[in-house]
Amino acid sequence: MLLSSPASELSTSTRHIVALDIGHTSQNGGARSAKGVMEFQFNKKMVGEIYRQLEQSDCIKPVIINPEGKAISLKGRTEAAAAAGCELFLSVHHDAVQPKYLNAWTVDGHKEHYSDRFKGFSVFYSSKNPLPDESEYFACQLGIEMKAKGFEPSLHHAEKIPGEGRKLVEPEYGVYEYDDLIVLKTAKVPAALIECGVIVNREEEESLNEDSTRSRIAAAVSAAIRDYFGGQPACAPSREPSDGSESLR
């Protein structure tokens, strides 16, 4: 259990290098939104806003991984972060749901799919990362700051159905342990992945397309990164689920 920031004693005389990984690529765009927009487009815009906010910091130096959206392996992303000397790794994504929950509708004459059943953010870390406690701490800080900015977590990844059943570590903050996510377990530094919202949810897609929403999420992420590099923790992450549900462990 971490009682203080794992990086609290690092010098602030230099800027800490942070990797911002744009999930997916322009060729392999990830999830498709309710209106037919590929996830990669959401991820790229969000990383751009996070970068813009962090670039103004005198203690954080953001580095965008694969800014052009070219073909790159998952391990190649963490290798690029290591080559850039990054001390923290964040992969930015937008969420979907399992096919069983999707409904069809027509958008501009095209058939698309949506589900308004789930909404909200999720955060993941891997215990197979070389620094699992630090990764868990960072993931928890992301959840805390998202809540502080008015966002609510989605707990649908804990549902015991094919494709889900993830370990829900901190339900209040939407933090999951997902050991075999390649970008998290192959990173040489503490790492987390954030699903900023559910883009197959029609209302949430509209919100995530707003500059104000993107700015608030970026502010939450920026605050969590600053917290990691010396801020006071708002909670002490635990390996035990806070809701007492053994089924999620």
**The pLDDT of residue 196:** 98
- pLDDT category at 241 given cuts 50, 70, 90 is very low
User: In angstroms, rounded to a whole number, what is the distance separating the alpha carbons of residues 128 and 182?
Assistant: 10
CATH superfamily of 16-243: Zn-dependent exopeptidases (3.40.630.40)
Q: What is the mean pLDDT of the chain?
A: 90
* CA-closest candidate to residue 187, choices 1, 11, 8, 20: 20
- pLDDT, tens digit, for every residue of 61-116? 999 999 999 999 999 999 999 999 999 999 999 999 999 999 999 999 999 999 99
* Higher-scoring residue by pLDDT: 242, 197: 197
Q: DSSP states of 32-67 as a string?
A: B-TTS-BHHHHHHHHHHHHHHHHHT-SSEEEEEEST
User: In angstroms, rounded to a whole number, what is the distance separating the alpha carbons of residues 239 and 229?
Assistant: 22
Range 25-39 average pLDDT:
97
198 and 154 Cβ atoms separated by less than 8 Å: yes
Domain locations along the chain: 16-243
Range 34-52 average pLDDT:
98
Residue 244 has pLDDT above 60, yes or no: no
Residue 150 has pLDDT above 80, yes or no: yes
173 and 147 Cβ atoms separated by less than 8 Å: yes
DSSP 111: E
Instruction: Pull the structure tokens for residue 103.
Output: 């409904």
- pLDDT, tens digit, for every residue of 151-186? 999 999 999 999 999 999 999 999 999 999 999 999
Angle ∠(209,143,213) on CA atoms, nearest 5 = 20
- pLDDT category at 247 given cuts 50, 70, 90 is very low
User: In angstroms, rounded to a whole number, what is the distance separating the alpha carbons of residues 176 and 184?
Assistant: 12
Range 220-247 average pLDDT:
59
Q: DSSP states of 143-162 as a string?
A: HHHHHHTT--B--GGGSSST
Radius of gyration of the chain (CA): 17
DSSP 189: S
Of the ranges 9-23, 28-42, 48-62, which one carries the lowest mean pLDDT score?
Answer: 9-23
Beta bridge partners of 138: none
With a pLDDT cut of 70, the percent of the chain lying above it is 87
- pLDDT, tens digit, for every residue of 4-30? 555 544 444 489 999 999 999 999 999
C-alpha pair distances (Å), 155 with each of 41, 95, 160, 175, 243: 24, 12, 11, 9, 12
- pLDDT category at 248 given cuts 50, 70, 90 is very low
**The pLDDT of residue 238:** 38
Range 124-151 average pLDDT:
98
134 and 6 Cβ atoms separated by less than 8 Å: yes
- pLDDT, tens digit, for every residue of 203-217? 999 999 999 999 999
**The pLDDT of residue 6:** 59
Task: Please tell me the pTM assigned to this model.
Answer: 0.88
